Structure 1
Amino acid sequence: MSTFAPKKYQQEVLDSVEAYFKACHELPSPSIAFTAITERLWGRGSPYNGLSGFPADMPYFCLRVPTGGGKTWLAAKSVHLVNTHLLRCEHSVILWLVPSKPIREQTIKALKDRSHPYHTALREVGPITVLDLDEAKSVTRATLDTSTTVIVATRQAFQVEEEECRKVYQSSGALMHHFDNLSPTQREDLLTDGQDSERTTPYSLANVLRLRRPFVVVDEAHNSRTELAFDMLARFRPSGVMELTATPDLERTPTNVLHSVSAAELKAEEMIKLPVVLETEPNWQQCLADAIGRRDALHRLADEERRAGSAYLRPLVLIQSEPRRSGIETLDFEKVKNELITNHGIPANEIVVATGEERGLEQIDADYKLGIADPTCPVKFVITQKALAEGWDCPFAYILVSMASLSSATAVEQLLGRVLRQPGASHRNAKALNQSYAFVVSQNFAETAGALRDRLVAGAGFERREVTDFVRASTAEQARLDLDGYAGRVIVRPVAITLTEKPDLKAVPKVVRDKVTWDSKLNTLTISTPLTEEDANALKASVTSETAAAAIIEAAQVSRTTAVEFFLTPAEAGDRLLVPQLALRTQGTLALFDDPEILEYPWDLSPVDATPSADDLNTLNAALKVTQGGEVDIDERGHMVSRFLPELQRDLGLVYQPENWDEVRIATWLCRNLPEPSLTHASKQAFVAAWLTNLLRQDDFTLARANLQKFLIRNLLEASIRELRKKAVAAAFQRTLFGDDAASRVAVTDQYAFEFHAQAYAPSRDYDGRFGHFDFRKHYYGRIGDFDSKEEFECACQLDTWAQQGRIQFWVRNLVRREGSSFFLQKADGRFYPDFICQLPSSNEQPGPVLAVEYKGGDRWISAEDDRLIGNLWASLSGDRCRFVMVKDKQWAWIDSQLG
């Protein structure tokens, strides 16, 4: 595998991590920083939950990423951020915890493989060393001093009963040299053995880790933080803890979710195949036959696209068989395999069995260069029982067939995750190839759909509020039984029939009995919930006359057809919402204006006075005091309280002794660690050298001190260069977009139109009624993103009212910082996301104009001047294809004037 550019949502996750690490130093503590950053990112600050057994303000946070979102790559990519922005050191120790030994081996292999994206992401930090726990027990001091060292271990390895854990605390002669020339402060912090005068300090890995203050990465952290034995990890004095999981613990021991990625974002970035198209069939042989038919249809589509130039694709069916039981006939793997071969003529070499006894997938990996994805591999069906090998991924997996109950949670969650994920895959032209499929042996569609949604929430990390849209019935008949799938958007009319006899409801299964009521006075049977054909047959058996039986069958059919009325959102109905975007003409060609870097602007640092500011010097002096002695506060009772980050910086300063670098070497290092692609190397080098020379002219500022503080110097230089570039971009932006001949350079065109995709709407928070309730009928999606204020909510109510009157076709609550599901206008220093996008009615068979509406509180009106400028420019260049209005003080007439 080769390196790849991060998806938009992945870059947003990394940006959030960087912002948090920076805020940890800028604000009084990491706990305060967490609340402040979540407020800045999501509009509502989250409280910080300390981790039991650790210092109360140790940096501790969680990244919530659903199945298929690339958690391990994000973890590897974050190591560079840990060193640069949190620890501010060149080399660190990363303790990387995984849930099992197979995942450990897989992770170590990938992190060591120079051609793997995980390794490439990790190497951004500089020299790296990847070790397992056994190798770490003989790690040299030189290794830790010259590379960032990643120690990969299972969580269980640190549980007391594990032998691996005991060895971590045992003295080893191989580690003795780590403890030479320690300061009294360092020795005081080490673990000791024995009692009183006989106490000794073991040369143990545990003590090496205490010296080095490792940063802990916990992969797949869900529901396991108590069994992680964090009290043991606390003994290593970590510098911080980062969890990655699809399903964080939010109740028992709540974690700190810094950034939450939604499944809709993954769908928008083509990381997973959604929706899951579900079909239930009580006869297992027919269910299997239906799945085979679906696979064949997908294969034909894939072959057609391949002939047109698309990549090779061979859709796979994953079949979950039942386990064998002594004396009981089950749909085990042998019976399923025999059915495929005997009744469907599937060649044996197209079937592989992966169970505890049969390890067919391992043989496939050995026989074919690309494993099951190899074009020469014939396999089309994988039969498993409980779960596939951990970490097994194949973008060809499209169809899940479950012979067992969906309540078999672990197996279904894992198999469903395999079908959803599409590593290395991309969007296909055929809609059917961008979806997943589930065929389940079941008589009750609604119950099965509910169980499948539960599995997506519990195992794949989908949010309950979004999962409704991601399970869809394969047939219209079954869709009418999926009332939960249209929660809040379906009307079920009761069906009442008069019978000549009283049905014996006691003999009817409870699941059917709960859907009907009998009125003995009127001799009326009322069906309140749609009945399936199987339900109807069970209910028919409760009467004796043919007339009553026929009436029940007829009424049941009405209950699941004409008695059910769905309210479809515009997105579900197939209406498209496309918004023309700003484009910039460069060298005669139009390009989407989504990055100010495409502006042509003079950018040269050579004429700039490269001198540290007074604020820069104050920051460096304050940081030096911290490094030399730590920092203490006094609590309300007069007790001294150590602050976490100052202590950490002191400890790292003691253990990582910098080499004796000269001025040229320091300047070279600073240039290499200041990525600024818009600058020439010569320009950057001259600026950095001059800045450093001026710094060294300051009193008490030596080369040794510059070397010690080079990470902080790097951050100060980066901030200075960023501010200078910001000014240059702002000038070019104003000249290009608002100059006299701007119309010749800027255009608003359908060539670059943003489309609101039907399943890519991903609010960080849904509106929960906190400002009032309104029956929104014309919102483009079933979900509505939260509103920032009551006035904004009232603006949405007004838009929906006009839409119900026909003056607006439909509207959408536009989201902020959700790049795959929100429209924006690029500014010089950021992006403007209008609050609402409205599709106005069409005329003369042409699409109607698009109206962008922004509501601003009176206190923010003046600061929103640049938003008004770019919004009005966008509208004026569109030829009435687009309109824009910014409203304050509930001046709804301003919007009304744009609707004509």
Structure 2
Amino acid sequence: MELKSYQKEALRALEDFLHRVGAYEKDLPNFLDQAFREVAARYMENPPPYLEPKGLEGIPYVCFRIPTGGGKTLLAAHALAPARRFLGQDAPMVVWLTPTEAIRTQTLKALKDTRHPYRQALEQALGQVRVMDLQEALALPPGDVGAVALVMVATLQAFRVEETEGRKVYEENGHLMGVFDLLAGSVPEDKLAPPEGIGRYSLANLLRIMRPIVVVDEAHNARTPLSFDTLARLEPGVILEFTATPREDSNVLFAATAHELHREGMIKLPIELVVLKDQEAVLQATMAKQKELEALAQRGREYLRPIVLIQAEPRRGGDPYTWEKVRAFLLERGVREEEVVVSVGERDDLTGQDLLSPSSPVRYVITVDKLKEGWDCPFAYVLASVRPLKSPTAIEQVLGRVLRMPGARPKEQEALNKAYAFTVSENFWEAAETLREALVLEGFERYEAERAVRTVGLGLEERIHLEASPSPLALAPLGPKVEYDPKVRVLVIKEPLNPSERAVLRQALAEKDRQKLPHTVRTPSEEGRVLEVPLLAWHGEPLEVEHFLEEGWSLAGRDAHLDFVPQPLGERGEIGLDGGRVRIARLERLDQAGRLFGSHVGWTLDSLALWLDRHIPHPDLPQEETLPFIYRALGELLGRGFTLEDLVAEKRQLRNLLEAKIRGHREAAQKEAFQRLLKDTPPNLGTITLRLEGDYFPPNPYRGAYDFQKHFFPVIADLQDGTEEFQCARLLDGLEEVEFWVRNYPTWRHAFRLPYPGGNFFPDFLARLRDGTLLVLEYKGKHLAHTPETYEKEAVGQLWAQKTGNLFLMVRTLDGLNAIYQAVRR
């Protein structure tokens, strides 16, 4: 199964983080914080400091925030590849922890099925692999350990010593004695001895020695002090969390947005909400919507049968609208009995049902609170609740079931790319706000949740539920166009506002309410206009950094000296009595795991060179280039008096050093090629057109008070009032010569980019002038105004301007803003 772009970006973030950890861990006492902040800064403003839970100091421990429906399990399987490379283990152990028994059973089944995409991702990441439950792990045959990658799937509760099953993990286990006999030849006795509370021949001790990769699924359900204690006992090498709703103290390295999932066809958005006065009206409207969607689905090429999830009232006092009443209503109106299933209490008609099969007749699923955990059906399109939506937690689990997109790809009929909700309520705005709160529980950012729920049937008035009441005096200039009811905190915009009135309203609202303000003036993108921007191209495709070296490059003649310092196992724990002690101890444990099972027995110089070549990524260099370089590096080390056994025992360190060396030579070659490109402008360099339209969903939208008038999209990415970039944006917005402009941001699918030796460069602003000329603008503050990187970016920007006949401007400090006037009024 092909990874989506945000999943690929998450893996790049992990790879980069672990590479930086390996590069910094010997020299920086705060190496994890440094690596984390450098990578996280690409995806968020001012990333928080890296937090090290007690007992897990020095262990790479990061979280990936993926909203519901985003493919967390597939991403987790692929993430094992960079983790394995970081640990330098050919056949690592993986502990895969799930929040519940139902999810454990579902995950174990998928990972064991060789036809399932999850299992195929596992094999791609780890090579030969054996997947097992905890009972199988307790009887692990010696021949498997170190020969194949081992993935143990369990609940976190199963590793808690207080639980019956957990005690078995920590107790002496005669089945594992053969494994420890094998270890005895490779691991010093003091390393085999377990800490207090763990049996010598126990599974926990084996994991502790092997430094497992730990995957925590839906970690917010598991992360408590007790959970950290449990994880610390396993002494993992790397911990990876995957969740929709991380806690504030998570080390979130990468966060996907709901709109990224929607753009990739993973989830349905927006959710159209209809609120009606009584239960039967809700059911009648729901039935009509199901028939409408099914008719549309039949026009498409793929099989799709839209399903309705109905939440009935629980059997409590009064006269509740129970599941029996819902079912009777549907049958009385012509729905066939086999089209309705019930999942309430002990009754679960879903068991054994394959709802995606064309032979399944099911169109309605009735529940009360929750559907069984692990149940998933992308055919679910409509959520109907015959009870008022008052609690987001009561609706959250069922709402998540209607968000997933069938086939994880957009549909031809636009109506089939949306989800639908029908509910009964006297208070429409309370229902809408409850739905939005439930989306936040599903991993949406609040601003995304605000835009994801679209209310239907409200006429021309715009109604907004505010979190803070505005001053009557501040609203007074808007006269009869705007009304506010302080009792329910609802603002009603009765007539369209002109730009100055809109600015007054924005000033009157609290910052957290401004993002809810509807757009009364349609932006160019909302009018269906497209901004076309030329990109630099190489042989008809976008120019990338990799193209700089398309003609090839060589390691021949380049320096192969490595700063190699072996530290024998057993001595490293004594190095340093200061704050660096924990770091050195962690390195010792990692190397210990990499040296197991006679890892330096039977090795030759050739087998070591081949191992290193296989574990160093070099897609741009053939083995004919890399192997001679590796032999030169190894030969130089042998010439300095190191033995082959020294080199094999430290092959993880050697791999890191060689990878860094080759990366450095690659960057140098790219800089050389970049200078040739600027100087010679080869004939293969051309342009192609990038169309900027549609899906502009920035992760950090502007929420300030200034009312921009000329931005191409209704929201603006990553601006804060008063900043230097804000001053640039305001100047562009106010220039008569500017027709419209766009705030460019790196994670946008259509982001404008220019390659330079350091990677891709994403200029801050694009503007179209009224004469049709494009202006690309990059702002650099004083601290970055004259760095080598800034000059490289400026050079490729001027190359773009020369090739396309447009304007590129590098503005250095606010004093340079006059250059913008001069450029547009040339």
Between the aligned partners of 1:156 and 1:295, the Cα distance in structure 2 is: 41
Distance 1:210 1:600 in 2: 44
2:821 matched to which residue of 1?
Answer: 896
1:663 to 2:605 alignment: yes
1:337 lines up with 2:327 in the alignment: yes
Residue of structure 1 aligned with 2:405, choices 400, 412, 422: 422
Structure-1 residue corresponding to 2:97: 97
Cα deviation 1:555-606 (Å, max 9, x = unaligned): xxxxxxxxx98534627844545342425363xxx3333x34456733254x
Give CA deviations for 1:403-462 in whole Å, capped at 9, x if unaligned. 23333444521222121122632123333222222112223222111111111112x111
CA deviations on 1:177-235 (whole Å, 9 max, x unpaired) are 34333533214443358xxxxxxx55222222222232322110115412753223322
Report the Cα distance in structure 2 between the residues aligned to 1:724 and 1:187, rounded to whole angstroms: 41
Does residue 190 in structure 1 map to residue 195 in structure 2? yes
Aligned to 2:753: 824
Paired residue secondary structure (1:19): helix
CA distance in 2, matches of 1:565, 1:302: 32
1:151-174 per-position Cα deviation (integer Å, ceiling 9, x unaligned): 111122233442111222222211
Partner of 1:514: 487
| Residue in structure 2 matching 1:776, options 700, 704, 708 | 708
> 1:495 touches 1:528 (CA, 8 Å); kept in 2?
no
Match of 1:794 among 704, 727, 745: 727
Residue 429 of structure 2 corresponds to 446
What is the match of residue 376 of structure 1?
359
The Cα offsets for residues 344-400 of structure 1, whole Å up to 9 and x where unpaired, read as x222233332333333322322xxxxxx22233332222222222323333322221
**8 A Cα contact 2:356 2:377, kept in partner:** yes
Name the counterpart of 1:753.
690
Structure 1 unaligned spans of 5+: 194-200, 366-371, 498-510, 517-526, 532-563
Q: Give a deviation string over 1:522-578, Cα, whole Å, max 9, x none.
A: xxxxx97589xxxxxxxxxxxxxxxxxxxxxxxxxxxxxxxx985346278445453
SS in 1 for 2:407: coil
Between 1:717-726 and 1:105-114, the stretch displaced more is 717-726
For the residue of structure 2 that corresponds to 1:466, the secondary structure is helix
> Structure 1 residues 794 and 147, CA, compared in 2 at 3 Å: closer, same or farther?
same
Query: Any idea what SS the aligned residue of 2:246 has?
Result: coil
Q: Give, in angstroms, the shift of residue 888 of structure 1.
A: 2.0
Q: 1:132 matched to which residue of 2?
A: 133
Seen in structure 2, the aligned counterparts of structure 1 residues 247 and 162 have a Cα distance that, compared at 3 Å, is same
> Which segments of 5 or more consecutive residues in structure 2 lack a partner in the other structure?
495-516
Separation in structure 2 between the aligned mates of residue 729 and residue 289 of structure 1, nearest angstrom: 65
The equivalent residue for 1:197 is: none
Amino acid at match of 1:762: P
Query: Who is 2:638 aligned against?
Result: 697
Change (3 A) 1:96 1:768: same
Between stretches 860-869 and 831-840, larger displacement belongs to 860-869
Name the aligned partner's letter for residue 872 of structure 1.
Q
Aligned to 1:241: 239
Return the offset for 1:835.
0.6
* CA distance in 1: counterparts of 2:204 and 2:652, whole angstroms: 27
Residue identity in the other structure for 1:173: G
TM-score, scaled to structure 1: 0.79
Displacement after TM superposition at 1:483 (Å): 4.5
Q: Which deviates the most, 697-706 or 567-576?
A: 567-576
Match of 1:203 in 2: 201
After superposition, where does 1:420-819 map in structure 2 within 5 Å?
420-422=403-405, 424-458=407-441, 460-477=442-459, 480-483=462-465, 514=487, 567-568=520-521, 570=523, 573-582=526-535, 584=537, 586=539, 590-593=540-543, 595-597=544-546, 601-603=550-552, 605=554, 608-609=556-557, 612-613=560-561, 616=562, 618=563, 620-621=564-565, 623-625=566-568, 628-630=571-573, 632-635=575-578, 643-653=584-594, 655-658=596-599, 659-688=601-630, 690-691=631-632, 694-695=635-636, 697-730=638-671, 739=680, 742=683, 745-749=684-688, 752-758=689-695, 760-763=696-699, 765-766=700-701, 774-779=706-711, 780-786=713-719, 790-802=723-735, 807-816=737-746, 818-819=747-748
Partners of 2:703 and 2:462 lie apart in 1 by 27
Indicate how the Cα distance of structure 1 residues 239 and 592 shifts in structure 2: closer, same or farther if over 3 A, else same: closer
Q: Percent identity?
A: 36
Give the SS at the match of 1:810: strand
1:71–1:169 distance in 2 versus 1, CA, 3 Å:
same
- Confirm whether residue 320 of structure 1 aligns to residue 311 of structure 2: yes
Q: Answer whether contact 1:24 1:33 (CA < 8 A) is retained.
A: yes
Q: CA RMSD in A?
A: 3.5
Please list the CA deviations of residues 88-146 of structure 1 after superposition, one character each: whole Å capped at 9, or x if unmatched.
22232222110111110111122222222222222222222222111111113332222
In the alignment, what sits opposite 2:511?
none
Aligned length: 783
Q: Partner letter of residue 889 of structure 1?
A: T
| Distance verdict in 2 for CA 1:377–1:318, change over 3 Å | same
Paired letter, 1:602: E
Query: Contact 2:272–2:420 (CA<8 Å) still a contact in 1?
Result: yes
**Residue 461 of structure 1 aligns to a residue in which SS?**
coil
Query: 1:627/1:32 Cα in 2 relative to 1: closer, same or farther (>3 Å)?
Result: farther
Report matched runs for 1:23-172 at 5 Å. Answer: 23-27=20-24, 28=28, 29-39=31-41, 42=44, 44-52=46-54, 54-85=55-86, 87-123=87-123, 124-172=125-173
Q: What amino acid is aligned across from residue 801 of structure 2 in structure 1?
A: A
1:357-368 mapped onto 2 (5 Å cutoff): 357-365=346-354
CA distance in 2, matches of 1:867, 1:32: 25
For residues 401 and 143 of structure 2, the distance between their equivalents in structure 1, rounded to whole angstroms, comes to: 42
Does the aligned pair in 2 maintain the 1:579–1:755 contact within 8 Å?
A: yes
- Asked if structure 2 preserves the Cα contact closer than 8 Å seen for 1:211 and 1:655, the reply is no
CA gap 1:450/1:656 in 2 versus in 1, 3 angstroms? farther
Asked whether the equivalents of residues 533 and 690 of structure 2 are also in contact (C-alpha less than 8 Å), the reply is yes
Which position in structure 2 is the counterpart of 1:867?
Answer: 793
C-alpha contact 1:8 1:819 (8 A) present in aligned 2: no
TM norm structure 2: 0.86
- Where does residue 15 of structure 2 map in the other structure? 18
> How far has the Cα of 1:272 moved from its partner?
1.6
For 2:499, the equivalent position in structure 1 comes to none
The alpha carbon displacement at 1:858 in A equals: 4.1
Specify whether residues 705 and 413 from structure 1 end up closer, same or farther in structure 2 by C-alpha distance, changes over 3 A only. Answer: same
Partner Cα separation in structure 1 for residue 703 and residue 480 of structure 2: 33
